[in-house]
Amino acid sequence: MDVRDAVEADAERLAELTGAPTDVMRNLVHDRTVRVAVEREGDSAADSGGEDGGAADENEPGERAPGEERVVGFVSFDAQRKTVHVTQMEGPEAATRRLLEEPRRFAANEGMSVELLVAADEESHRSVAEAVGFAEEGPGPRFDGTATVRYRLDP
């Protein structure tokens, strides 16, 4: 699995991962720092259609062109004052674990803290956050009626 900067062409796949409109994800790519986890044809999860349950490209699962990559997850973040805010993350556990390294590395280089909100019922994302060093800080705000948990990582 590799991680790279998101580009506008990734917006459609990000929309598939989140259920959000493509235009919203295109704006996210323009307005935030967005990093994507990609698997190339030949990677173990890519060969099986990925951990998220299926292929989203036009080829049949396992029939990607040699070297073709598939976005399997992403993280978006921005920095305000002395905190890096993870604004969104999606993907299977291995991808989100790797993707959270990106805002953590940026924050460490700048001497900043990192904050992350996770839906209270997202056990996988909560366990990843804790596994990579985030500490639960208590309840976060509700979004569309969904309770969240606030996590923080201090330098």
Q: Could you report the per-residue pLDDT of 99-134, keeping only the tens digit for each?
A: 999 999 999 999 999 999 999 999 999 999 999 999
Q: Return the bridge partners of 149, or none.
A: 118, 139
Q: What pLDDT, on a 0 to 100 scale, did the predictor assign at position 57?
A: 43
Q: What pLDDT, on a 0 to 100 scale, did the predictor assign at position 66?
A: 58
Question: Could you tell me the residue ranges of all domains in the chain?
Answer: 2-153
Long-range contacts of 41-50 (CB under 8 A, 24+ apart): 41/65, 41/66, 41/67, 41/68, 41/69, 42/66, 43/1, 45/1, 45/72, 45/92, 45/94, 46/70, 46/72, 50/92
Q: What pLDDT, on a 0 to 100 scale, did the predictor assign at position 61?
A: 41
Q: What pLDDT, on a 0 to 100 scale, did the predictor assign at position 49?
A: 41
For the chain, residues with pLDDT lower than 70 are 42-67
Q: What is the CATH number of domain 2-153?
A: 3.40.630.30
Q: What pLDDT, on a 0 to 100 scale, did the predictor assign at position 129?
A: 96
